[in-house]
Structure 1
Amino acid sequence: MSLRATARIAAGPGGSLPVLESDGPLAPRRTRAAGPGWSRVTVVGAMSAPLGGDRLAIETEVRDGARLRVDSAAATLALPGRTPDPARYELRLRVGADAVLHWLPEQLVSAHGSDLRVRTGVDLAPTARLVLREEQVLGRHGEPPGTLVSRLTVRRAGRPLLDQELAYGPGAARGWDGGAVLAGHRATGQLLVVDPAYADAPPPARPLGDQAALTPLAGPAVLVTAVAPDALALRRILDTALDELTAG
């Protein structure tokens, strides 16, 4: 039997969390924040999910002037289910005026035989700031990946800032593992940083070593994309990029 569940988070100024609702396998928990004025929520998996046919969602609102970090206690493991239907995992994020959201979950692992569609939609106020990290590991150790389709759509002040879709595994178009895409790597990810300060002085486009690149967007934002042989190497690349972008 397929599962349908939606968890909800709302952060207010001063570190408040007026809404923190769990549902099914999605259990957001308040955890210790790194500094004054911040809230922190860690998403804990209460059961195995997403499985084939599941419909899961997390709705997050960062209200005007609030600062929120969301992370997770462990990697999300996409597994095959009893039905041939793909699982769907939707993230709906809203960040208000002068608010900050750091969305930093652990990796998503696409296990052999799974079929998962992830959709992340972000709506930002003009003065909002965002740090969003996505990491995908294609298959567990020694196994081929499942099918993974991931779409990220970001709107700022009601206008499109980024809209992209990535697809990997046996259900994707040919060439997903070729030299122009993954080149044999099994971990891939991206880091999106939106900051109004970039409107006047965005970081320049450049490679970050041999496996990553930084690209300024047509808006006050930069996108770092990376591939790596494994999850640990990928995290190191994205952490180094984040430290550089947020220094000072």
Structure 2
Amino acid sequence: MAIFDELNLPREKSIVETWTPEEIKRFLDTSKLKRPSRHYIAYEISIKTGLRMGEVLGLEWKSINWEKRYITIRQTLCRIDDKGNYGLEPEVKTVNSYRNVNIPESLCESLRKHKRLVERDKIEAGVKYNDLDLVVCTKMGDWLPPCNWRRGFHSIRKQLRLPKIKPHALRHTHATYLISIGVSPKIVQERLGHSDIKQRLGTYSHALPSMQLEAADKMDLLLKS
């Protein structure tokens, strides 16, 4: 009964725009980019992990476990006052937000390549480099402003002629794809750092019809065996 309860998701008033698996592959094919961005790694992290923008921009190198292939969410880039200023905060959004998220080997490779770029920046900047241990940062080591995150994303999206979606939709795309290939909603919940599985996964209910048809076909296979 618990499994069926997980899939009995409420309807959401808003429609979440996401990319298809084919569009995800196009976005991840950097060979087609005329002007590769040094911050491309930020979007790759988001689409392959489902992390929030603030979690990606606050990610530190020390939070990556290369051997066991997971990252730990320890801090976030967020608004620190009512004037709209941003800063790094050691606290995460909720208790569920503090979590370990396993990452694919392809992302490990991309992170290693990006780390070499950051190390070169450190050498070139010398004592002027502000070493915050950030994975996604400027050439001088400072945190990346969210407006730059959004502008960079849309620049890449336009180059690849992909459907217009908000940068935050990369997180939704990650969740929708996992659900569509049959990953347990509970696992998706843990990766995203959500506390209420029914309420939050209702956002991705549009991915369920194909799973319903797959379930029906599997029933036929079982009965014919």
Using the size of structure 2 for normalisation, the TM-score is 0.24
* Structure with greater helix percent: 2
Per chain length, whose mean CA-contact separation is higher, i.e. which structure has more relative contact order (CA < 8 Å, sep 6+)? 2
* Structure with greater strand percent: 1
Using the size of structure 1 for normalisation, the TM-score is 0.23
Bigger radius of gyration among the two: 2
